[in-house]
Structure 1
Amino acid sequence: MSIDLEDPPQGRAEAEFAAELARIRPGLAAAYAEALPGARSTVLGLLWRGLLYEPVPGVAGRESALGRIRLSDGRLLTGPRRSPYDLEVGEDAAVLLDGRVYRRPGELVAALGLPGAARFGADLERSVASLALARAGAGMGSGTGPDERSLEWFEQSVVDGHPYHPCCRNRPGVSVAEQLAYMPEHRPVVDLDLIAVPVSRCVVVGAWPVWLRDIDRLLLPAHPWQSRHVLRELGLRPLVAGGIPARPLICVRTLAPVGGGPHVKTAFSTRMTSNVRDISPGSVRDSAPLSAMLVDLARRLDGGLRITRNLAAACAVVNGEPSADLAVLLRESPSEYAGAGETVIPVAALIVRPPNGGPPLIGGLPTAGPGWLAEFARLAWGAGLRLLAYGVTLEAHGQNLLVVLDRRGRPLRLVYRDLADIRVSPARLRRNGLTPPPLSPRLITDDPDELHAKLFGSLVGTTFSSLVSALGQGDREVEARLWAAVAAAAVQVFDDLPATGDTRADRAALFGTELPVKAHTVMQLDGGPAGDRWARFPNPLAQT
């Protein structure tokens, strides 16, 4: 079961958020209203990036670098010039369709007549309203915030969400009150419920901890939103309401218990950005073999990568079938891999600007610049390309990939978490003398294009792109030097790898004229196949 709602006509989401704020948090209403224009510009800019560079239907021709699109019906769409990797397009973004100015992304989608425009437009308008709420309320939550500079503090500093997704803050079915109570940017403490399910009615992987057992029953942690909106309809009620106080991390449904211990990934069955955030039974079953394989491969590298192990996973059997709506995964905290005097930070937090303005966090590091990025790139390519040579690709975007910094802010090692979206090539593993583990079919592919898209699309298309943009601040000469440092690090790793057919193919794909990047806008439209969709973006590594 999942929540997948549509808003009324475009613009209503902003008004509905304002009305609810006036009732429950009037002191935040002015800040929300002040944040709306900037939120509209941000979401419109993300939509504009997709229109400029993704294979959106109804486009006859593009001059992307000039900000011009000719539609199949002859209309002309013009807007700000932007690189596909720019983080910002300005505080007063506007797009013109045959001379008419559009500042609301939902209205622009409706005017373009894209397939699924009503639903997509509603998602965009919700994204605007939620983004404005996030910016207005960041750091002003009612809960006790985490210690400054802790992992949780950095996680909750990521207010804007995905840096390139037009639905970066789309949360259908989650009210304003619930966003203030549960969303990480508001720094709340969320009290997880405990659902008692007989062991005989559970799928269990790993050693389920004693403290989450009640004689012959498992106590499955559940998000309170899930308990209220989804589990109740399945006839499931908490045995203990609010049994585990925890702090939400970037991805909302993974939380860090206040008392320490493993992180808890819960089901939250509504769409956020693109996908419904439940936990499939396949992910539960895959959790142990994935974890064992990645930990083993990471040990074969040169020590620059750590994997947060999946410790245990379980889901309830409901109506005779394993349920994605009542499933949970217990995972090591990335903090386990930071020593004394070291700091572990999600890469996504490095591009965050402080609420009062100023440079992004990465700009404040004492060693920030091409040298810092080169050292980070050596770690990232060392892990990513060597694992790819073995036959495993990471989805190494800024939420899954964390960096451990020393006292001066220099990168020491990387930590990777959330293994559910990697891809595994059995053929490559066998060519390296390894036995492929039993995994769900969706994780398995020997297609080099799929392997390259997963790694390069996340690592170049999101992680390096956002870091280069944050450090370069729109100066194309500085950005070119930064991209050159990224490319040089990849060249060095390839030079150190055995020159096999696989690594030669990987090298040619990485330095080609275009790279696959996830097509976030196209994925929101009706009529395409399910799952990931890809665009071919100009490759900044080929230009260095």
Structure 2
Amino acid sequence: MERVDLIPPAGGADAVAPGDVADPADTYAAAPLLNCLLREVARPLPGRDGVHRLPGTERLLRVRGGRRPTAPEVYTPHGWQRLGHAELVKLVTEELRRHTGLSNHELPAEMSDSRDAVAAVLAARARATPPDDPYLRSEQSLITGHPHHPAPKARGGGPVAGWLPYAPEAYARFPLVLLGVREDTVVEEGDTSALDALGEPPPGYRLLPAHPWQLDLTARALAPAFADGRLIRLGTTTDPVHPTAAIRTVYAPERDLFLKFSLDVRITNDVRRLWRHDLLELRRTDAATSRALADGPAAWLSDRGYRTAGFAFEELAVLVRDGLRGHLLPDATPYLAAGLVEGFTGSPLDGPTDPARWWEAYLRHMVPPVLAAFADHGVVLEAHLQNSLVACDAAGTPVQALFRDAEGVKLLPDVERAAGWERLVYCLVVNHLVELAEALAERHPGLDPWPAVRRELARHDLPEIAGLLTAPTLPAKTNLLLRWTGADGADARYRPLPNPLAEG
């Protein structure tokens, strides 16, 4: 694309007409990619709402909307030119190549894959029936997905038929494959007894459920084990499971059980295997987190244990996680926090007659357990939107927070306190509270959500709180640059983001 240095006039005949509506898949897929570009690379043009300069190419980009940018346009000698998703990917690719001095052939393909996955999901949802359970609806609502990732819906570039039957966004439900693993090859730790209730293996074997998508992905690697009898197929589970927002974690409502599997697919920043080093740390991390959340109404969905085969340790690993019912307060209904931000039928975020009081109740239950775990136990919860649930009473008022996923938990002093605090602030404040505050304010114009957040944080006696409330910036993870430069997904890099908590 040619460089254009002139500054365009405001408004004018070149503005996009209100009826010029983009393809829905383009719109969904462009929003998180634009969020990344605007946060990590672009520079706002002073006095021009929605207009940004791209420093690498010196192009001018204009967008509309707030937390979900829409209608991207680039300025040309002929005026503003609307960009479809394919053109936006080309623009971003050229900008990042100039901006970083590096090339990347994988990420543009993932951006396109993410858009195509959205299109497939939208088509599937149009002919599917959403679950009756409002909790499952919240888990399966994430069409946009991570709001600040360039390719949140990429599915490894595989054919749609390979992954769509297992996509939570398509309201999928499916049986698990039951395998028998020869007893002398089984590796397990912790409480895995729930797996034994799923079926009856023959003598000399132990039961191991498997995700059918993962079996397809690893078919060639596992063929020798099936051939020599280390693995046998035992049919499928009698009841279907429902994939949650995490895709590889499924919920079995009849058994009130979560199971997490490996998936040899890159989803957002990582290939989603249950890595050996994480599994070997599981019991220690889970025990520390269970102690940290033992008191009070907040609950931890414990990762009780794992089972796998020694010859395919990571490929066939399955992690057993607590269900919901033993932790929920009476008559409370759980919802995924990320679902509240995305929106779904029956969301409590749409219903409060007093949104300020609803928000205060949400903060009162969500914030204290995260801060207390850090201050009193040295546990850094990964309390981002997809790992946090809120339970509401019959009126839709928050009454309890629930947290999950020991894999993302960090412990002090394994990480330095400053690094742990930065991660906590990113997960809880930037990834979680900022997104939910903006979604609530969007639904209820005139609501200022930040005084309530400041009051809630100020109640807690942590030395870091004063700095959090006065710092001009917050740490925002740079997912676009992280993926473009090929950094490891766990190697979080942060960019300063204006701090809405800082008054004045």
Give your verdict on TM over 0.5.
Answer: yes
| Equivalent residue, structure 1, for 2:95 | 112
Q: Is residue 386 of structure 1 aligned with residue 367 of structure 2?
A: no
Q: Structure 1 counterpart of 2:83, which letter?
A: Y
Q: Specify whether residues 525 and 516 from structure 1 end up closer, same or farther in structure 2 by C-alpha distance, changes over 3 A only.
A: same
| Partner of residue 404 from structure 1, selected from 391, 400, 403 | 391
Q: Which deviations, in whole Å up to 9, do the C-alpha atoms of 1:446-493 show, x marking residues without a partner?
A: 241x21232111111122122112111188853xx201211111112x
Give the match's secondary structure for 2:450. helix
Partner residue of 2:132 out of 147, 152, 164: 147
Q: Which residue of 2 aligns with 1:515?
A: 474
Letter in 2 for 1:107: K
1:197-226 CA-to-partner distances (Å, cap 9, x unmatched) read 234323311133233674443322211111
User: Which of 19, 39, 52 is equivalent to 1:68?
Assistant: 52
Shift of 1:387: 1.2
- Alpha-carbon distance in 2 for matches of 1:97, 1:414: 50
One of 216, 220, 224 as aligned partner of 2:212: 224
Unpaired segments ≥5 residues, structure 2: 1-19, 227-231
The match for 1:454 is 423
Alpha-carbon distance change, 477 to 258 in structure 1, aligned in 2, over 3 angstroms: closer
**Correspondence 1:488-499 to 2 at 5 A:** 488-492=455-459, 494=460, 497=461
Work out the CA distance in 2 between the residues paired with 1:484 and 1:447: 27
* Mapping of residues 410-425 of structure 1, within 5 Å: 410-425=397-412
Deviation of the 1:282 alpha carbon: 2.2
In the superposition, relative to structure 1, how do residues 535 and 218 fare at CA in structure 2: closer, same or farther (>3 Å)?
farther
Q: Measure how far apart 1:70 and its partner are.
A: 4.4
**Structure 1 pair 190–455 and aligned structure 2 pair: CA distance change class (3 A):** same
Counterpart of 2:449 in 1: which secondary structure? helix
- 1:53 equivalent in structure 2: 39
Q: 1:109 to 1:339 in 2, by over 3 A?
A: same
Identify the match of residue 181 of structure 2 among 157, 172, 197. Answer: 197
- TM-score, normalization by structure 1: 0.78
User: For 1:253-282, what per-residue CA distance to the aligned partner results, in whole angstroms no more than 9, with x for missing partners?
Assistant: 111125323211111110112211110122
Q: Give the structure 2 partner of residue 182 of structure 1.
A: 166
Within 2, Cα distance between the matches of 1:240 and 1:507?
58
Structure 1: which 5+ runs fail to align? 1-33, 427-443, 498-502
Q: 1:367 to 1:333 in 2, by over 3 A?
A: farther
The answer to whether 1:463 aligns with 2:441 is no
Identify if the C-alpha distance between structure 1 residues 474 and 309 changes in structure 2 by more than 3 Å, giving closer, same or farther. closer
Once the two structures are superposed, the pairs formed by residues 128-527 of structure 1 within 5 Å of their partners are: 128-138=115-125, 140-141=127-128, 146-149=131-134, 151-209=135-193, 210-211=196-197, 214=201, 215-235=203-223, 236-237=225-226, 238-243=232-237, 245-300=240-295, 303-318=296-311, 323-354=313-344, 361-367=347-353, 369-390=355-376, 391-426=378-413, 444-448=414-418, 450-473=419-442, 478=447, 481-492=448-459, 494=460, 497=461, 503-509=462-468, 511-527=470-486
- Partner of 1:171: helix, strand, or coil? coil
Contact 1:41–1:93 (CA<8 Å) still a contact in 2?
Answer: no
Q: Could you tell me how far 1:242 is from its partner in structure 2?
A: 2.5
SS of residue paired to 1:313: strand
Q: Using the alignment, how far apart are the partners of 1:513 and 1:474 within structure 2?
A: 27
Measure how far apart 1:326 and its partner are: 1.3
Equivalent residue, structure 1, for 2:109: 122
Q: How many residues align?
A: 462
Q: Any conservation in 2 of the 1:380–1:414 contact (CA below 8 Å)?
A: yes
Residue 191 (structure 1) shift: 1.7
Contact 1:516 1:536 in 2 (8 A): yes
Deviation sequence 1:481-525 (CA, Å, 0-9, x none):
201211111112x2xx3xxxxx21354145411111221211220
Q: Does structure 1 conserve the Cα–Cα contact (< 8 Å) formed by 2:34 and 2:69?
A: no
Match of 1:535 in 2: 495
Residue aligning to 1:431:
none
234 and 304 in structure 1: CA distance in 2 versus 1, 3 angstrom threshold: same
Paired position in structure 1 for 2:83: 102
Task: Judge conservation of contact 1:140–1:187 (CA < 8 Å) in 2.
Answer: no
Distance 1:333 1:519, change over 3 A: same
Instruction: With the length of structure 2 as denominator, give the TM-score of the two structures.
Output: 0.83
SS in 2 for 1:240: strand
* Cα contact 2:214–2:262 (8 A) shared by 1: yes
On the 8 A contact 2:56/2:96 being kept in 1, the answer is no
Indicate how the Cα distance of structure 1 residues 38 and 489 shifts in structure 2: closer, same or farther if over 3 A, else same: same
Deviation digits for residues 38-63 of structure 1 (CA, Å, limit 9, x no counterpart): 32233323222222222x4xx7x654
Separation in 1, partners of 2:208, 2:354: 43
Q: Is the 8 A contact 1:377 1:486 kept in 2?
A: yes
2:12 aligned partner: none
User: Aligned equivalents of 1:146 and 1:70: distance in 2?
Assistant: 43
- 2:497 and 2:259 map into 1 onto residues whose CA distance is 36
Tell me what 2:67 maps to: 87
Q: CA deviation at 1:111?
A: 3.1
- Relative to structure 1, the CA distance from residue 41 to residue 208 in structure 2 (aligned partners, 3 Å threshold; closer, same or farther) is closer
d(CA) in 2 for partners of 1:95, 1:375? 43
CA gap 1:35/1:177 in 2 versus in 1, 3 angstroms: farther
Whole-angstrom CA distance in 2 between matches of 1:97 and 1:166: 24
Contact 1:230–1:325 at 8 Å: present in 2 too?
yes
1:79 and 1:94 in contact (8 A); partners too: yes
Distance change (3 Å), C-alpha of 1:335 and 1:132:
farther
